[in-house]
Structure 1
Amino acid sequence: MSFVSRIWRLIRHPTGFVGKDLEGNMFFERHNPLQEARRTKRTVKYHNNDMWLYISGPKRLPVQWSAWLSHTRQDPPTLQELQIDLVRQERVLRNAALIEARDREEHLRMSSGLEPGAISSRAAQVADTRLELPQEHSGETASSVSAPPPIPAREEPGPKSLPTMPSQDRYEPESWTPRARLRGQ
């Protein structure tokens, strides 16, 4: 952060307020009174005094703010950046759930010995019946119901043809001579 922007922030926000996260926690930056200290002091004031939920509980500060607090990141994150990261985290969780469902389906198929597309076709039939519900029962239109697209079944490789070998009584091994490797190959 440039010297001018620091001065401007001190004039504009004398308390050292830097920003907020999506939970309502407020972050501050103050000048360090020690002469030999080169860094500013960065602190967080937790929303509704739920500090213990962040320290030893299930809540966590956003990674961007944690990096800013530890002086790993120079500039504080914006609310837009935090919202984009939240959408990314939700997308990752959705994708992980899809992968887990596909793995469960594959495990069921492998353990029951069904053909590759049997379980996924049943899942597709269930998704189709959800879309065909009358509007008065579902309360939504068929286009607004978001069912995950059926995952195409992977084709399993069949037994590959192995090279034929002559019978043992006619087999004669060839001599092996190593080739000299040229540089760059």
Structure 2
Amino acid sequence: MNSFLADPRRTKRTVQYRDPEDVWKYIGGGKRLATDLARQQRVLANVALIEARDREERLQMLRLEATPANSTSNHRSEPLTALDENQSPPESKEPQRQKTQATAGTSPTSDSSSPLPKMPGSDTNEPESWTPRARRRGQ
């Protein structure tokens, strides 16, 4: 630790205002205050989006663990309608995007049992024997 800061003779300096409202009247306050409020609103909106996304992920995990694959579609609409009522319109767009991404991954065209098409060329994945050789410059 810095010995200068640890000196007991050095007291903590605080600013004391005559009027408590003077705390909010800082230099450049007219310019910075609007920017600070806008930043705070952006942060709160991002927090709400992240919380909504986390809530949706938790619900999806619970659905996958609790129900078989056949009845997943029946339970999907019930919890989501409750979430949409509690959220504001900008927040409700994010879970809808996730639902479309989740359903796009489980489309009937992407059947995992069908093999991928063969690529032309050598399809042998057998190991090839080799021996290291010393090389000389110029050869």
TM-score (norm 1): 0.34
More helix by share: 2
